[in-house]
Amino acid sequence: MTTTAGSAEHLPPALRTEALEQLLTERGLIDPKAMNGLVTTYETNIGPLNGAKVVARAWTDPEYRRRLLEDGTAAIKELGFGGFQGEHIVVVENTATTHNVVVCTLCSCYPWPVLGLPPSWYKDPAYRARVVKEPRAVLSEMGLELADDVRITVRDSTSEVRWLVLPEQPSGTEHLAEEELVPLVTRDAMVGVAKVAAP
């Protein structure tokens, strides 16, 4: 891809990023495998682990759960998570009769401090457009079947408000300690496209 200095700024951010990565790779300044590993770590491990700790605390501490649902940002900061992309996080709770799912229809606003980097499907235009119009069908395609009487609410993240789903605690895990619950909580459950499975 060849661009002039004046035209590069008009390219979509994804193309500019790809061009920059290619240039840095060609000059030997970055290793693509190491870069991919770093992205994967933040996308699937470090970030979601923070959110899982928040969820596990809410499941085991009713007072913390109350604070989390009243002021998500403040309660999340209690556990040491906050900062860029986490300035205003609102937490909503999934129950047996209500299911929340998160999308960003304009771009890919996402609560990085508790979920890490957004997965590729979250940024995909098809997900962003379809989950608003036909959430039940999209969730079904992603492997989550909900009963017809479960009310689905789609939460649209923006630069001002980012949403985090407090998933239902799986039946039979009430006796588990907080640290035992953390590994059960997935990123997808905190976005609302999956449920947390019992061990």
Active site residue 120: no
Determine contact, residues 194/144, Cβ cutoff 8 Å: yes
% of the chain exceeding 70 in pLDDT = 87
Domain residues for 172?
A: 32-191
Mean pLDDT in residue range 188-192 = 98
Annotation marks residue 104 as catalytic = yes
Regarding pTM above 0.85, the answer is no
Q: How far apart are CA 184 and CA 169, in angstroms?
A: 10
- Domain presence at residue 7: no
Q: Does residue 24 belong to any structural domain of this protein?
A: no
pLDDT range class, residue 41, cuts 50, 70, 90: low
| pLDDT score recorded for residue 191 | 98
- What pLDDT score does 31 carry? 83
Within-domain flag for 153: yes
pLDDT of the residue at 82? 86
Q: Mean pLDDT throughout 115-138?
A: 95
Does residue 152 fall inside a structural domain? yes
Known catalytic membership, residue 109:
yes
- pLDDT higher than threshold 90 for residue 26: no
Residue 2 has pLDDT above 80, yes or no: no
Residue of 107, 120, 140, 159 marked catalytic: 107
7, 109, 120, 140: which is the annotated catalytic residue?
109
Q: What is the pLDDT of residue 13?
A: 65
Residue 98, in any domain of the structure: yes
What pLDDT does 158 receive?
Answer: 93
Residue 27 or 140, more confident: 140
- Considering the domain boundaries, does residue 15 fall inside one? no
**C-alpha to C-alpha distance for 138 and 25, rounded to whole angstroms:** 37
Domain count, the chain: 1
18 lies in some domain = no
CATH at residue 164: 3.90.330.10
Strands (E), 104-194: 151-156, 162-166
pLDDT at 46: 65
Mean pLDDT of the chain: 89
- Say if 113 falls within a structural domain: yes
Residue 140 bears catalytic tag: no
